[in-house]
Structure 1
Amino acid sequence: MIIKRKLYTIYIIALVLSSLLLAEGAAAYWIWTPSIGRWINPKDAPKETPKEQFEYGYSSYQEKEYKKAISEFLKVIRSYPDSEYAPEAQFHIGRAYEDLEDYYKAYLEFQKVIDLYPYSKRAEEVIEHEYTIANLFFTGQKRKLLGIEILSSLDKAAEIFLKIVENAPYGKMVDVAQYKAGECYKKLERYPEAIEAFHKVIENYPGTPLVDDAKYQIALCSYEVSPESAYDQQMTEQALKGLEQFASEEVSSPESERMDEAILKLKEKNANHLYDIGYFYQSRKKPDSAKAYYQETIDKFPGTMAAKEAQKRIDALEGRASKALEDSDEKTKKSWWKIW
């Protein structure tokens, strides 16, 4: 009986001691933090001051432990959001992702400095980093998905260039950023967006040396759009006018040969438009109206296939050529007209 009592006493003492130890462990494992209003594990607790916490994160950054540095910088932002070290921590998160070569994520983190801390002393430096990242994407750097570089990033380059313009509309690089956004859209064959971007270079930065280049790019993009808009004569005429202006000014460009080819095609297209109207009137037995449009085709676009055909039809209408030409059908005409 005495032995049983002793064993029972030992059991109770052991139970109490284990409870105390568990309670002590639990108390040490989670503590209430008034500054952030939640329980946290002490090992994840921030340092006592924002300066100490930032310096701890920065030491990891200097040692190239970028993921750890990001984690420690986040503690500055979450625990001391109103401190002077919060924007610094956010900036260095961007730098850490940049060093990890996760460039789009780096851009997003850099942009948070502008969005959350608009008066940060790092604002200009942020824009420089964003410009560097945009240029990387513009020149072929692929974007990562799950850590793997697989996504083409011209669209992201355009996004970042335009964000730079939005961030600092009067900054030192905005005219170039606006122009490069247009180049991105042009490479993506998103020509209407490219035209809009190049127009903004001319409208918003009239003093930039890029104005002439922007006009040239508008002309080329208009040419690319015009075949898709068979009845948009204004677009075709705008493209032709722009290209002819550059040809007359002898503006040097690596695309000069392509520009000459584009001018010829646009002239042919405009000539075809006038010829079509003349053909329409001829088919409706209105020879005077038909001849007027045929003559305009010849006068405005001499040397084109349409002008040569227009002359034949004028001759036929005036009895100077075979009636067989006058009776030619649309299918015959289309055999030479369809040049695109």
Structure 2
Amino acid sequence: MFKFSTFTLSITLSISLISFNILTAQADILDYFKKDLSKVPTKEKLKEQEPIASNKLNAALQFEQQGRQKKAIAAHRNIVKNYPFTTSAAKSQFKIGEYYMAASKDKKSFDAFQDFIDKHKSSDSYMDAISNQYKIAERVLANKKQKKLSLLPDKVRDSDLLKWFLSIIDNAPFSKYAPLAQFAIAESYQNEKKASLAILSYQKLVDKYPNHKLSSEAQYRIGDIARKKINSGSRDSANITYAKNAMEDVIVAYENSPRAKEAADALKQLDSIQGTQLYETGLFYEKQKQLRSAVIYYEKAIKSKNPKITEMAKVRIKNITPQIVSDPTPSLSSPESNINKINQQKKKIDTKSASNEEGPSILPPPPKNP
């Protein structure tokens, strides 16, 4: 019998797994080329196609100069369809996108430029196509804002517009258009009252492009969305904490931004709201005669930067402290009271309900002597 150590067995399995992955990858690559080689013309064939496609491109451009747009677009489509691997095909595909863009056919133009991007990544016009895609998406978004109160349906659905902006980011994640598209996504969610998605999208912009000119605005809006919830009546303390943290980040990370002063003002307002809520909570507990709980919230309210709240909280503590001293018995809802109640219950003997504890084990009787 052969004995293998754990280390040897692990190495053997690792090598086998790597070999399998390499073979699988090679098979995938071969399948890929087998699939595409049937479409790719030979070098000689491509050499024959280039001048033909070039002549057709010149004819299409002449149609365009003559104002015969339909003839021009038909010629460009013919080149893309029949000579897709020629240099003229890339130019024709770009022209198709431009034609639809000029005709305000937003969906067709965006898709045409996407075809160009997918098939001609090495083209000098690649970034021009990205730029045009952003212009199309931005135009549609602007139209949607204007038609917000209109009863007419939009030509481009919100879900499609969202996909467009995401495509722009995927096509060129390090271009100047990526953060602009990300901001547009967040703003769209905000306009649709989808607060959580808007915050996540703004945060993504701040995280991925912290030095972009829109990052300070995105950071401010994160806090502002939470602040608006508070102003609309929300008493969720998490919103205050979230809003304060966001505004503090604006002040610290973007101190020279136009939003820094507004963030400082917002922070003062949030601090005042938080202090007021803490004071009101203290009043609630005081009315319930839960004085120790009231003091806890009054002490938190004292930390508020609002001098009025601070002074009122100090007065309340001063007034109720003698009552706590004269009545050392904790309030019923205090932790100490709850513990005492539990201990008292444990001392009582329950003679009615069955015992939950197991008694001594009962052995069977010894066998009788024969």
Q: Normalising by the residue count of structure 2, what TM-score does the alignment of the two structures yield?
A: 0.58
State how far apart, in whole Å, the 2-side matches of 1:315 and 1:229 are.
30
Q: Which one-letter code corresponds to 2:258 in the other structure?
A: S
State the SS of the aligned residue for 1:98: helix
Segments of structure 1 that go 5 or more residues without pairing to the other structure are 1-34, 37-47, 321-340
- Aligned with residue 191 of structure 1, among 165, 189, 195: 195
Residue of structure 2 equivalent to 1:338:
none
- Aligned with residue 119 of structure 1, among 103, 119, 122: 122
Shift of 1:129: 1.1
Residue of structure 2 equivalent to 1:92:
95
Residue of structure 2 equivalent to 1:130:
133
Question: Does the 8 Å contact 1:142/1:153 carry over to 2?
Answer: no
Shift of 1:54: 3.4
Aligned ranges 1:21-100 → 2 under 5 Å? 49-100=52-103
Shift of 1:168: 0.8
**Residue 299 (1) aligns with residue 303 (2):** yes
**Residue 169 (1) aligns with residue 173 (2):** yes
Aligned ranges 1:206-285 → 2 under 5 Å? 206-226=210-230, 230=234, 232-243=236-247, 246=250, 249=255, 251-253=257-259, 256=262, 260=265, 262-263=266-267, 266-275=270-279, 277-279=281-283, 281-282=285-286, 285=289
Aligned-pair RMSD on alpha carbons?
4.1
Shift of 1:110: 0.9
- Per-residue CA distance 1:58-93 (angstroms, 9 max, x = gap): 333333333443333222233333333333222111
Q: Which one-letter code corresponds to 1:136 in the other structure?
A: R
Question: Does the 8 Å contact 1:158/1:185 carry over to 2?
Answer: no
Q: Which one-letter code corresponds to 2:208 in the other structure?
A: N
Shift of 1:126: 0.3
- Per-residue CA distance 1:88-128 (angstroms, 9 max, x = gap): 22211110001112234312211121234333442111012
Q: Normalising by the residue count of structure 1, what TM-score does the alignment of the two structures yield?
A: 0.62
Relative distance call for 1:251 and 1:203 in structure 2 (3 A) is: closer
Shift of 1:183: 3.4
Identify the range of structure 1 (167-176 vs 149-158) with the bigger mean alpha-carbon deviation.
Answer: 149-158
Shift of 1:294: 1.8
State how far apart, in whole Å, the 1-side matches of 2:219 and 2:178 are.
17
Residue of structure 2 equivalent to 1:22:
none
Relative distance call for 1:85 and 1:200 in structure 2 (3 A) is: same
State how far apart, in whole Å, the 1-side matches of 2:144 and 2:288 are.
59
Question: Does the 8 Å contact 1:138/1:153 carry over to 2?
Answer: no
State the SS of the aligned residue for 1:151: coil
Segments of structure 2 that go 5 or more residues without pairing to the other structure are 1-37, 40-50, 324-370
Shift of 1:158: 5.3
State the SS of the aligned residue for 2:303: helix
State how far apart, in whole Å, the 2-side matches of 1:250 and 1:80 are.
54
State how far apart, in whole Å, the 1-side matches of 2:72 and 2:146 are.
22
Q: Which one-letter code corresponds to 2:243 in the other structure?
A: A
Residue of structure 1 equivalent to 2:17:
none
